[in-house]
Structure formats: structure tokens, C-alpha cells
Amino acid sequence: MAGGVVIGVFLIDYLINNHPEPLWGFFFGLILASAIFVGRQVAHWNISRFLLLSVGFALAFGITMISPAEGNPALWYVFLSGTIAICALILPGISGSFLLLMGMYTIIIPALKQWLQYRTMEHFYTIAVFGMGCLVGVAGFSRVMSWLFKNYKASTFVVLTGFLLGSLNKIWPWRNVGTYLNKQTNQLTDFTDLQSFKAIPAKEIRVLTEHNVWPHEYIMSDPQTATTIIAALVGFVLIFWLERNVKSDSID
């Protein structure tokens, strides 16, 4: 986890600002393969389990369709986001979308990066409160998941598979902006052309809606189609390579 934090703050922060399409492609491949892997843990599928799969898919997909909120540096909100974010260790697919929708990537990642580089107390408080939220979240939610796996193991795997599939909507590599808010003027604007959009400083823009498109329809930047597809394939294959080292029994 410590290694992941460092990689996430520096490497992924760089990639998401400079090469977002291949990065999202890599994550898309990872999650798609993970959904297949989790779904394969259930040996027997029937109508009721397909209905549960649909419920999990609809819930995660619906969350990804909500407009992202504005990040809030208030410590109570930082704590709340920590309790939700840590659930990514237990409930894949949905909690990452929650943190993004809460707008906290723009608060937590820069704060952690600043603290790692300069050891500022202001940013330390933010990270410490976020960490306490993570501890509370994992302590509470792990008990819920333990109970579910003990009593409804197969159904839980089915819903998790739906969560993973539904969350793919949020990380599709090619997304054109639909509407955005100019935070300086508080003006809601429909995206018309890239030049006008990029003329506004990034920190003054809050994207409200996006549309998933095919690479040839993508206008936000270079789609990097070949690189993105290769990155997705690498992520996909990586999961199944790791699976070879994991022995698990199917669940009836």
C-alpha cells in the first residue's frame, strides 16, 4: 500500500495529466479482466443471479453518471471521503467512483504530494484525517463484507461482478466534455469547441457531464488509439497472469 501511494501520487498523477488515455485504457483492461475473474468464482448461474448481476451493474453505472461534486477541504468531509475510499480494498469498482464523484481527488492527491515533498503541517492534517477515515471505514465495512461472504458468498461475488462491469463506464478512455461550469463566472456552458474550452484555466473549470465516444470521435486531445489499446491489453493480461498464482475454488 505504501508503494502504491508513492506510485499513485507521482507516477499516476503525471500520467493522468499528460497521458490520460493510455492510463484509463490500462485501468479499463484491469477492471474488465477482474470482472471476468470474479464472475468465474461462481460455478452455477441462474435467473436470480443474473438479476443480482443487473442490480450491481445498474448501481455502479448509475453512480458513474452522477455529476462530480466540488472537492471540499473541510476536515469532516475529508474524513468521510476516507471512510468511503478505503472500501476499494474490499468492494472493488464502486468506491473509486464515489471518491471521484465526491471531488476529492483534487484535494487528497495534491495534499499528499505536497506533504511528501515539503512536510507541511497543513497538508499533514488533511492526510492524517483522511487516514483516520480510512481506518474507521475498513474496520466497519470489513465486518459487513465478512458477514456477507459467510452467509451469501455466491450472491456477493455476483453483485461484485456487476459493480465492476458498471464502473467501466467511468474509466472509458475516450470521453468528450458535454457541459462544464466556469467557477470564476459561475456560468454553465455547453461544450462547443476545444479552443474555447482550453482558453479557460483548468482550475476554473468543473466538468459536469461527459460523453463516451469512439477514438475517431474523440476531440479533447490525441486519442493515442494504438497505445491505449495496447495498455488495455496489458492490463487485461496482467490479471490473468496473476490469476495463475491464485488457487481458488468455484462457488456453487
Residue 173 is classified by DSSP as S
Q: Which pLDDT belongs to residue 214?
A: 95
The three-class DSSP label of residue 208 is strand
- Do 113 and 149 lie in one domain? The reply is yes
- Do 109 and 184 lie in one domain? The reply is no
Domain that holds residue 191: 175-212
Tell me the Ramachandran region of residue 197: left when phi exceeds 0, alpha when psi lies from -120 to 50, beta otherwise. alpha
Parallel/antiparallel/unpaired status of strands 187-190 and 175-182: antiparallel
The residue that leads in pLDDT, 2 or 208, is 208
Question: Looking at the domain assignment, is residue 18 inside a domain?
Answer: yes
Q: Which pLDDT belongs to residue 6?
A: 64
Q: Which pLDDT belongs to residue 14?
A: 80
Question: Looking at the domain assignment, is residue 4 inside a domain?
Answer: no
Question: Looking at the domain assignment, is residue 53 inside a domain?
Answer: yes
CA distances from 243 to 38, 103, 166, 213 (A): 11, 33, 22, 31
- Do 101 and 121 lie in one domain? The reply is yes
**Look-up: residue for cell 485501468?**
27
- Do 41 and 124 lie in one domain? The reply is yes
Count of structural domains within the chain:
2
pLDDT tier, 47 (very low <50, low <70, confident <90, very high otherwise): very high
- Do 23 and 74 lie in one domain? The reply is yes
Pick from 40-44, 85-89, 94-98, 230-234: least confident: 94-98
Question: Looking at the domain assignment, is residue 226 inside a domain?
Answer: no
The residue that leads in pLDDT, 11 or 163, is 163
CA angle at residue 228 from 223 to 230, to 5 degrees?
145
- Do 49 and 81 lie in one domain? The reply is yes
CA angle at residue 216 from 211 to 222, to 5 degrees?
85
- Do 133 and 203 lie in one domain? The reply is no
User: Alpha helices of 152-210 — where are they, by DSSP H?
Assistant: 153-167, 194-198
- Is a pLDDT exceeding 90 seen at residue 117? no
111 within 8 A of 82, measured Cβ to Cβ = no
Percent of the chain clearing pLDDT 70 (strictly above): 84
- Do 183 and 167 lie in one domain? The reply is no
Tell me the Ramachandran region of residue 15: left when phi exceeds 0, alpha when psi lies from -120 to 50, beta otherwise. alpha
Question: Looking at the domain assignment, is residue 2 inside a domain?
Answer: no
- Do 48 and 66 lie in one domain? The reply is yes
User: Alpha helices of 19-152 — where are they, by DSSP H?
Assistant: 20-39, 47-65, 75-85, 95-101, 105-118, 121-151
C-alpha dihedral sign at 53, 89, 34, 24: positive
The residue that leads in pLDDT, 49 or 187, is 49
Question: Looking at the domain assignment, is residue 89 inside a domain?
Answer: yes
